[in-house]
Structure 1
Amino acid sequence: MFNKSIFLTFLLGFSLTSQAQSATQIVQMGYLLEDALLYSKSYIVPATDAAVYQATAAWVHSAKKRKLWEVNAGLHFNVFKVPGKDREFTIQNSDFKFFHIENGATSAIVPTALGNDNQIFLVGDLDGQQVRLKTPEGINQEFITYPYLDASIGLPFGTELLTRFSSKTKLKHGDYQVYGFGLKHNLSQYFPKLEKKNIFLAVSSFYSKEEISFGFLDINSSFGNLGMNQLTNLVDTFHFQFSASKQFKKVEVIGSFICNSSTFDYKVSGEKGAIEDTIPIQDIVNRLLDTIEKRKNNYVGELAANYKLGKFSILTSLAFGKFINGNMGVQYKIN
């Protein structure tokens, strides 16, 4: 919902910095920003939900207790299946206060950040001057694939330190990056009878940071460009995981239940427009973006298999819940 106090702050700030503008222009500019906020929520939220799932996968490679100071490093490839229902949404003229769909249409289907590259035009009138906006494109990919490195080291008391890092991955019309660290503690060491049956238990806690950016709204007006052409979301996620595994010769089969809690920080981060000479529009838009939902919890199941080949091991995993995410990696035991 639109924050009226922020809207009033915008009106006051605009009137103080630009006495030459009419009251009509000021009110219309406020409505334009309100529409931009409404659009941004439907456009970006599916992508941020997906980013959390991608960061959740394949943290635990084994529920076993690692040897003290044992070091493992690996290369992984993550594959996220973009669900059809999260690729598009419907807009209607009745949703907006400033814009309407060009060419007389009353509604249209447009892509989310996870959708295709179809675009339409929205138009509005700013005190007699037409403002024409081309809606943002989606990544237009059925699968999102990115590589990352991870490493772990065995610590005292059956604990293991794990880390992961990916460089910035270029998507169509966007970028994605994730990194994080966490701890795993083996529980089955306290139950020798379980370990004799090659059954292992572990609990884990991780923190990950995800950054996802997309091209957004390139709006030109009689005041100049509004400087909203890139939208970035920073996601902080805390993961909690319980894992159980069974060893079958060289293969360890692992089942996990994961819950995570994520906070989202949405920012317009494109090049500032000419209107900044009159009013700090990016700052106002970013304050509006703070009204989008800031926290979400997810519950995820994961099945994995770890096949050992000497100092190497091959891990495959499938995470499932609201989304489906696959992962494959090769690990090497350094010592």
Structure 2
Amino acid sequence: MKLLRKSIVLLLSLIAGTLYAQEDVAKFLKGSLNDAEKLSKAYLEPFGKSLGTSLNSGWYNSANPHGILGFDITFTVPITIPPSSDKTFDVSKLNLEYWQVKSGSSSTSPTVTGKSSNTILTDKATGLSELNMPDGANLKFVPAPMIQVAKGLPFHTEIVGRFLPTINISSVGNFGLWGVGVKNEFKEFIPFVKRLPFSMSVLFGYTQFTSSFDINKAQKQKLNFKSSGYTARLLVSKSIPVLTVYGGLGYNHSTTDISLKGTYNVDGVGTVTDPIAFDFANNGFTANLGLRLKLAILAFHFDYSLGNYGIFNAGVGINFR
């Protein structure tokens, strides 16, 4: 239960950072819609990529599938750490059409994962209109807590479902998560290979996270996130009494779509509907290494994944092999 409480705190941190970001995305509408999209994308990119990366983690803590009567129910929390290089971005490199960096102001502005900002933009035409770039929300990590249920099937196969029930927060919005995966210990079907003294499997998984946060309910203004992650892994593990060492090597792909919905009044443009929509993609190879400790029916696991974004993953579950 202590792990559950800590995970709820992490989730609230994620919500707080997102709420902070959504207000600033609406402020970017001042001046030019094209510029608003460029600024919003640069500001939110580390959050979008971190969220997508988190979704591809936490699928397994053993390469050995459950037997036909075996199953587990596991609470797991992948936590993605955005790299320091994603803490800031250079506004002068965005090729803005309406705004320019004010003389004497820094062109380096924080992303949502960064800290304070000293960047001021002025309009190119007159220099009379100004836009103060927002501070970052200082997001040190992006968690994606979820519940997983795995069930053994015939032919050394296991199916995995994962979810976070849709959570509605009054005057804020809602969010939820679901996914499905399959694991198969293929080496059992290959002569000689099946004699290897460790388990070896392949895993394919898909996860989707959706959220909708309210900016102004009366005007139906919302900031929507939809993040999807696909992963394919080669898994190996070796078990001794109580302890299992496991690892995986594979490829991740994730996309995060962000859209600003509703009707807005934009200076110099007028009334616009659904003014901003963009997406982030994050692809690459990944590898992880972890340990699982099994005490009777309880199993605790921890692992770390390498890649463009480092991921810590920890969890606890009820496990019947």
With the shorter chain as reference, the TM-score category is 0.7 to 0.9
Could you tell me which residue of structure 2 aligns to residue 165 of structure 1? Answer: 163
**Structure 2 vs 1, CA of residues 330 and 321 (structure 1 numbering), >3 Å: closer, same or farther?**
same
- Structure 2 alignment gaps of length 5 or more: 1-28
SS at structure 1 position matched to 2:273 = helix
**Higher alpha-carbon Rg:** 1
Determine the C-alpha separation between the residues in 2 that align with 1:185 and 1:94.
46
Determine the C-alpha separation between the residues in 1 that align with 2:175 and 2:116.
18
Determine the C-alpha separation between the residues in 1 that align with 2:222 and 2:90.
22
SS at structure 2 position matched to 1:139 = coil
Alpha-carbon distance, 1:321 to partner? 1.0
Alpha-carbon distance, 1:261 to partner? 2.5
Aligned with 1:328 (options 294, 314, 318): 314
Measured against aligned partners, the alpha-carbon deviations of 1:119-158 in whole angstroms (never above 9, x if no partner) come to: 64433378x8965433344331323345321111112222
Could you tell me which residue of structure 2 aligns to residue 183 of structure 1? Answer: 182
Query: Which protein has the bigger helix share?
Result: 1
Measured against aligned partners, the alpha-carbon deviations of 1:165-193 in whole angstroms (never above 9, x if no partner) come to: 235699xx999754311111112322575
SS at structure 1 position matched to 2:228 = strand
Relative to the length of structure 2, the TM-score reads: 0.75
Determine the C-alpha separation between the residues in 2 that align with 1:75 and 1:153.
15
Determine the C-alpha separation between the residues in 2 that align with 1:82 and 1:30.
29
Measured against aligned partners, the alpha-carbon deviations of 1:66-116 in whole angstroms (never above 9, x if no partner) come to: 1114221011222222321111112229832212334x3354221112222
Alpha-carbon distance, 1:318 to partner? 0.6
Determine the C-alpha separation between the residues in 2 that align with 1:121 and 1:195.
64
Instruction: Tell me, yes or no, if the aligned pair for 2:54 and 2:142 is still in contact at 8 Å.
Output: no
Instruction: Tell me, yes or no, if the aligned pair for 1:243 and 1:256 is still in contact at 8 Å.
Output: yes
Q: How many residues align?
A: 287
Determine the C-alpha separation between the residues in 2 that align with 1:96 and 1:115.
21
Determine the C-alpha separation between the residues in 2 that align with 1:140 and 1:215.
22
Determine the C-alpha separation between the residues in 2 that align with 1:122 and 1:169.
37
Instruction: Tell me, yes or no, if the aligned pair for 2:259 and 2:274 is still in contact at 8 Å.
Output: no
SS at structure 2 position matched to 1:63 = coil
- Give the superposed CA RMSD: 3.8
Determine the C-alpha separation between the residues in 2 that align with 1:111 and 1:236.
26
Could you tell me which residue of structure 2 aligns to residue 57 of structure 1? Answer: 57
Once the two structures are superposed, the pairs formed by residues 294-313 of structure 1 within 5 Å of their partners are 295-313=281-299
Q: Does 1:272 align with 2:269?
A: no
Instruction: Tell me, yes or no, if the aligned pair for 1:113 and 1:214 is still in contact at 8 Å.
Output: no
What amino acid sits opposite 1:238 in the alignment? Y
Relative to the length of structure 1, the TM-score reads: 0.72
Once the two structures are superposed, the pairs formed by residues 125-164 of structure 1 within 5 Å of their partners are 131-164=129-162
Measured against aligned partners, the alpha-carbon deviations of 1:48-67 in whole angstroms (never above 9, x if no partner) come to: 22122211112022111311
Q: Does 1:72 align with 2:72?
A: yes
**Structure 2 vs 1, CA of residues 94 and 248 (structure 1 numbering), >3 Å: closer, same or farther?**
closer
Measured against aligned partners, the alpha-carbon deviations of 1:19-62 in whole angstroms (never above 9, x if no partner) come to: xxxxxxxxxx9971221122123222222221222111120221
Determine the C-alpha separation between the residues in 2 that align with 1:139 and 1:148.
24
Could you tell me which residue of structure 2 aligns to residue 240 of structure 1? Answer: 232
Aligned with 1:318 (options 284, 290, 304): 304
Could you tell me which residue of structure 1 aligns to residue 17 of structure 2? Answer: none
Instruction: Tell me, yes or no, if the aligned pair for 1:35 and 1:98 is still in contact at 8 Å.
Output: yes
**Structure 2 vs 1, CA of residues 44 and 205 (structure 1 numbering), >3 Å: closer, same or farther?**
same
Instruction: Tell me, yes or no, if the aligned pair for 2:52 and 2:255 is still in contact at 8 Å.
Output: no
SS at structure 2 position matched to 1:281 = strand
Instruction: Tell me, yes or no, if the aligned pair for 2:65 and 2:183 is still in contact at 8 Å.
Output: no
Could you tell me which residue of structure 2 aligns to residue 7 of structure 1? Answer: none
